[in-house]
Amino acid sequence: MNVYDGERMAELLAEQGISLAPEGEEADLVVLNTCHIREKAAEKVYSDIGRLRREDGTSPLIAVAGCVAQAEGEEIMKRAPAVSMVVGPQAYHRLPGMIAEAVDGRRAVDTDMPAEMKFDALPARRKVGPSAFLTVQEGCDKFCTYCVVPYTRGAEVSRPFKDLIEEAAKLVDAGAREITLLGQNVNAWMGEDSKGCSVGLDSLARELSKLADLHRIRYTTSHPNDMTEGLIAAHGELEKLMPFLHLPVQAGSDRVLKAMNRSHTRDSYLKILERVRAVRPDIALSGDFIVGFPGETDAEFEETLSLVDAVGYAQCFSFKYSPRPGTPAATMDGQVPVEVMDERLQRLQAALNRDQLAFNNASVGKRCSVLVERRGKYEGQWLGKSPWLQSVHFTGDAAIGDLVEVELTEAGGNSLAGRLLQAAHA
Ligand code: 5AD
Ligand code: SF4
Do 293 and 208 share a structural domain? yes
- pLDDT (average), residues 301-322: 98
Number of Cβ within a 10 Å radius of residue 58 = 9
Query: Which CATH number is 419's domain given?
Result: 2.40.50.140
Q: Are residues 413 and 323 in the same domain?
A: no
Q: How many domains does the chain have?
A: 3
In DSSP terms, which residues pair with 288 in a beta bridge? Answer: 317
| Same domain (yes/no): 230, 359 | yes
Alpha-carbon Rg for the chain, nearest whole angstrom, is 22
Instruction: Check if 102 has its Cβ closer than 6 Å to any atom of ligand 1.
Output: no
Total-model pTM: 0.95
Cis peptide before 145 (omega within 30 of 0): no
Same domain, 311 and 175: yes
CB-based burial of residue 139 (10 Å sphere; 0-12 exposed, 13-18 middle, 19+ buried)? Answer: buried
Is the distance from the beta carbon of residue 205 to the nearest atom of ligand 2 less than 6 Å?
A: no
- Is residue 426 pLDDT above 60, yes or no? no
Judged against a pLDDT cut of 90, whether residue 42 lies above it is answered with no
Residue at a domain's end among 337, 363, 389: 363
Both 151 and 265 in a single domain? yes
What pLDDT score was predicted for residue 423? 59
Answer yes or no: is the C-beta of 247 below 6 A from any ligand 2 atom.
Answer: no
Could you tell me if 215 and 343 lie in one domain? yes
Q: Give the chain's count of helices (H) and strands (E).
A: 13, 19
My answer on whether 284 and 356 are in the same domain is yes
Ligand 2 atom closest to Cα of residue 250: 8
Kindly indicate the confidence band of residue 120, based on its pLDDT and cuts at 50, 70 and 90.
Answer: confident
User: Domain check: are 220 and 272 in the same one?
Assistant: yes
Residue 37 CA: which ligand is closest?
1
Alpha carbon distance 155, 151 (integer Å) = 8
CATH number, domain of 220, equals 3.80.30.20
How many whole angstroms from 294 Cα to the centroid of ligand 1? 13
DSSP conformation class of 373:
E
Q: Which CATH number is 103's domain given?
A: 3.40.50.12160
Ligand 2 contact, 184 CB (< 6 A): yes
Q: Assess contact for 45 and 61: CB atoms under 8 A.
A: no
Residue whose CA is at the smallest distance from ligand 2 atom 2: 184
Boundary-marking domain end, from 82, 114, 146: 114
pLDDT the model gives residue 115: 63
Q: How far is the CA of 220 from the centre of ligand 2 (A)?
A: 12
Point out the ligand 1 atom lying closest to the alpha carbon of residue 323.
10
| Ligand 2 contact, 42 CB (< 6 A) | no
- Helices 229-237 and 266-279: crossing angle in degrees, nearest 10, is 30
Q: Is the CB of 419 under 6 A from ligand 1?
A: no
Instruction: Give the number of the atom of ligand 1 that is nearest the alpha carbon of residue 146.
Output: 10
Q: Are residues 202 and 79 in the same domain?
A: no
CB 167 within 8 A of CB 342: no
257: Cβ below 6 Å to ligand 1? no
Distances (CA, A) of 40 to 66, 235, 415: 15, 36, 27
247 vs 254, 279, 316, 415, CA distance in Å?
17, 16, 10, 21
Could you tell which of 148, 249, 290, 345 is best to mutate to test the pocket of ligand 1, judged by most ligand atoms within 8 Å of the CB? 290
Of 92, 114, 136, the residue that ends a domain is: 114
Which residue, judged by its Cα, is nearest atom 6 of ligand 1?
A: 147
Q: 126 and 145 share a domain? A: yes
Residue 225 has pLDDT above 80, yes or no: yes
CA–CA separation, 97 vs 89, rounded Å? Answer: 16
pLDDT of residue 71: 94
- Boundaries of domain holding 25: 2-114
For residues 57 and 363, the model is more confident at 363
User: What's the rounded Cα separation, in Å, for the pair 91 and 66?
Assistant: 9
Q: Residue 142: nearest ligand to its CA? A: 2
Residues 54 and 136 in one domain: no
Give per-residue pLDDT as tens, 314-326: 999 999 999 999 9
Looking at the fold, whether 180 and 34 belong to one and the same domain comes out as no
CB atoms < 10 A from the CB of 116, how many?
10
